[in-house]
Structure 1
Amino acid sequence: MALVSGSNSLDGQAILANARAVAPVLREEAAASEQGRRLTDRAVDALRSTGVFRMPMPRAWGGPEVDICTQTEIVEELSAADGAAGWCAMIGSDGGFYTSALDDEVGRKLYPNLDAITAGWIVPAGKLHRIDGGYRLEGRWQFGSGCTHADVIIGGAVVYENGEPALTEEGRPETRVAMLPAEEFEILDTWDTTGLAGSGSHDYRTEGTFVPAEQTFRFRDLRERRRDGVLYGWTGMFFANVPGVPLGIARAALRDVEEILATKLTLPEMRPAKEDPRVRAGLAQAHAMVGSARSYVYSVLGELWSVLEEGDVPSLRLRAALVGAHMHTIRSCRDGVRLLADVVGSASIYRKCPVERHLRDLTTISQHIMGQPKIMEMAGALWLGVDRALTRNPLTAEGLI
């Protein structure tokens, strides 16, 4: 496993090469990660060695500020080795985005190591009670992907003042995201799921922990552009590389099915499966489903990057395409791998068959907010410029999509 090392050498292409180099390790550890319901130490060490967690760290800190298309390609490569590892890499690299809302001194204190790992849920499931110098945080959050090996954990929360929710200028409850060292949270063993079992996406909680005010942010703070650079020009950029995970898993499924079909015999005919017209057509259709989704999402991401490079604000129509591409990619990959399971036949129901795990992982990803059908309603509102629908939805109102 020959890795590119050295902080000055770890640009996007070097991290991508490293991701390819550690793929065999991630594949070897995938079963143990799934059984343990968290990434193994060896898998975490392999991921950290690639530089993937520093992808969005700023050049001013010595980071690479990897463009969003290359980030997605890196996540795709890792996910093709193990979906859970790719998911944790995608989530775990968000620190570079979140710290763009903080003062640099505060961000560097939280991330003295550019390869530090982030976990946590931005949804305001907790409470931030305003006190002198900051807040008292309490709450319990779900979906803490990678929390068992994280260095920094975040938690979205509603701000309270004198026992009542504080309101924004628009009259909505004020929400903020708190960022704390991981040891400030208790991890709860709750991640017992159909797919992505190795991601260790357990619940986590804290009670009465002090959070300095400067270690919290609102998503609108990301729009204030405390940090220069194209990568920080769009509030919802931390969502943008999500499609790399389903694309990588689906690519692995296509590879595995082709290997299975090379020696499989169909019953009762006892002829090579690769000579069966149904098998051939199913495989071709699955390739088209995954390939077309991949082309679309990379095209949209490329357009987004070009707009930001010009210093422009993404139009509602570009935002619509971005949101729709996410959901389309997730569901197309899931449906394509479901078709591959039909192509393989009864062998795909066994745990020893890799297609079985790929399908379970994609089934779980399809329940993420960016993979649910209701996301298309948001995309439709953006396509049509329906202002009322946009301002009523917190995701679009905050500029996250």
Structure 2
Amino acid sequence: MKDESAAAIIADTADAATAAGKLAAEVAAEPAGPAREAAFDHALEVLRDRRDEFNEKGHVPRDYIALLKKAGLFGVAIPEQFGGQPQSPAKFMKQVEKISAVDPATGWVASFGSAPVYFASLPVETQRKIYAESTDIVFAAGMFPMFEAERVEGGYICSGEWQFASGCKGADLLGMGLRGGEGTNGKPLTALVDPAKVEIVDNWSVAGMKATGSHNVRADRVFIPEEMTFVRGGEPTIDEPISRYPVIAYAAQVLAVVALGAARGALDYVTEVGSAKASITGGPAKGNRPVYKSGLAKAEADLRSARAFFYETTEEVWAKAVADEEITDRDKALLRMASTQAAHVGREVVLAAFNLAGTGAIFERHPMQRFLQDGLVPAQHAMLQEHTFEASGALLLGLNAGIPSFP
């Protein structure tokens, strides 16, 4: 009976790659150059008007995702051989940083424009099929907890409920984490699935990053063809600069840069708006107080220092990827260090700006709350917590990192 059930499930399974391509093809990026740059500027303007709406909805709606697609945010990691126009990690992350300076949660969702770098370890034919109709694929994944899938002929039957699927309500393609085996070197598998085949569990009730819509994803005996699975961080099956850049480190970077953007937004507010407000007690304008001036200067210096380390390291490793030079564990450790530093300094800068903003910033509708509630989150992510400093230091010393799949 079990085999017959599995056969029925397999027969009923739609082609996730084709479904994703058709869904993504509804909106395409503007041509590279002035048209795409104008689309990006337009998306930022719309975001300023609608960011409160997104926070109240608890997700970034599909019509706004379409604007990010037009701006090219979801085509930045598609290999050239499949018709993509990949761009350097630094260029992409500076765009995410600008979005995050307006609304960090939307920046977090936009950051997953880099996610197709994972797909480079899929079979070449699978990649070709995914990108056949569109090179603007929106991907979201719930990787954990990892479930043991039922192995059947031609693939896996998957059941479970995965957490933290950021942006899942606007995704063209979803991923689910599966336990790896002997052939994955301890790394998890990711199974790709048509969003129509799974259930989004609307349970994202949080204080920060509300608009990311990082709901759970539930599957009940969904068949995943083997060719639609890949080892997360596995060896790429294609060879281009974008597939040579360290994929796990990049995943940490695109989240860390959201903290840099949140910090920039918070500092811009206390510089341009908050400093001009006089105290209700009759004291001088805040910007005229010594503690305000020195606090602002220190926060600006801290942010710029962390940002310089972050992008300097990114550019150095990208240059190696372009030149097809060896990217060492030390290079990857520096990327991870720079990412964790960016996330933690970004959080401290947001807190410093909140301190400067004074009592008024405690109100829910105060502009600083957006940066405070969202800007504290990146450093909480497993890939950016304090222990990644220790693991990076271990690699710099030639020791074992002590964390699976690190760096």
Who is 1:381 aligned against?
394
Letter in 2 for 1:57: I
Over 3 Å counting, the alpha-carbon distance change for 1:6 and 1:125 in structure 2 is closer
* Secondary structure class of the residue paired with 1:179: strand
* AA matched with 2:239: D
Whether 1:70 aligns to 2:91 is yes
- Following superposition, the deviation at residue 17 of structure 1 comes to 5.3
- Would you say 1:205 and 2:227 are equivalent positions? no
How has the CA–CA distance of structure 1 residues 182 and 92 changed in structure 2, closer, same or farther, with 3 Å as cutoff? farther
- 2:147 pairs with 1:126: yes
State the match for 1:104 in structure 2: 124
Which AA in structure 2 matches 1:10?
Answer: A
Aligned length: 378
Partner residue in 2 for 1:393:
403
Report % sequence identity: 28
**Matching of residues 155-234 of structure 1 within 5 Å:** 155-159=176-180, 166-168=181-183, 175-219=188-232, 221=234, 223=235, 225-233=236-244, 234=246
Residues 267-276 or 195-204, more deviating: 267-276
Cα deviation, 1:203-239, whole Å, max 9, x if unaligned, reads 1110211000000011363x2x421211111342344
Is residue 252 from structure 1 mapped to residue 265 from structure 2 by the alignment?
A: yes
SS in 1 for 2:281: coil
Tell me how far apart the structure 2 counterparts of residues 187 and 87 of structure 1 sit (CA, whole Å).
Answer: 19
Is 1:10 matched up with 2:32? Answer: yes
CA distance in 2, matches of 1:117, 1:184: 16
Paired residue secondary structure (2:380) = coil
Correspondent of 1:325 among 312, 321, 338: 338
Whole-angstrom distance in 2 between the partners of 1:6 and 1:40? 17
- Measured after TM superposition, the shift of residue 377 of structure 1 is 1.5
Note the 1:14-93 alignment, pairs <5 A.
15=36, 18-93=39-114
Cα distance change on mapping 1:128 and 1:290 into 2, 3 Å: same
AA partner of residue 327 (structure 1): T
Q: CA deviation at 1:16?
A: 5.4
Give 1:148's match in structure 2, choosing from 146, 164, 169. 169
Distance in 1 (alpha carbons) for counterparts of 2:124 and 2:296: 50
For residue 293 of structure 1, what is the amino acid of its counterpart? A
Report deviation, 1:267: 4.9
- SS for the counterpart of 1:207 is strand
For residues 151 and 41 of structure 1, what CA distance do their matches in structure 2 show? 10
Question: What TM-score comes out, normalization by structure 1 length?
Answer: 0.88
* CA separation of 1:310 and 1:93: change in aligned 2, threshold 3 A: closer
Correspondence for 1:289: 302
- Distance, in Å, in 2 between the alignment partners of 1:80 and 1:15 is 20
Could you tell me which amino acid in structure 2 is paired with residue 271 of structure 1? Answer: P
Q: 1:83 to 1:153 in 2, by over 3 A?
A: same
* Aligned equivalent of 1:347, options 347, 353, 360: 360
Give yes or no for contact 1:134–1:211 (8 Å, CA) kept in 2.
yes
**Corresponding residue SS for 1:226:** coil
Q: Secondary structure at the match of 1:266?
A: coil
Q: Counterparts of 2:147 and 2:96 in 1: how far apart (Å)?
A: 29
**SS class of match (1:135):** strand
Tell me if structure 1 keeps the 8 A contact 2:257–2:343. no
SS at match of 2:179: strand
- The superposition leaves residues 79-106 of structure 1 with CA deviations (integer Å, 9 ceiling, x where unpaired) of 1221111110112441x21221122331
- Answer yes or no: is 1:310 the counterpart of 2:335: no
- Give the drift of 1:306: 1.6
Counterpart AA for 2:403: N
Q: CA separation in 2, counterparts of 1:262 and 1:175?
A: 49
**Greater CA deviation, 147-156 or 264-273?**
264-273
Q: Distance in 2 between matches of 1:135 and 1:363?
A: 38
**Distance 1:16-1:229 versus aligned 2 partners, 3 A rule:** farther
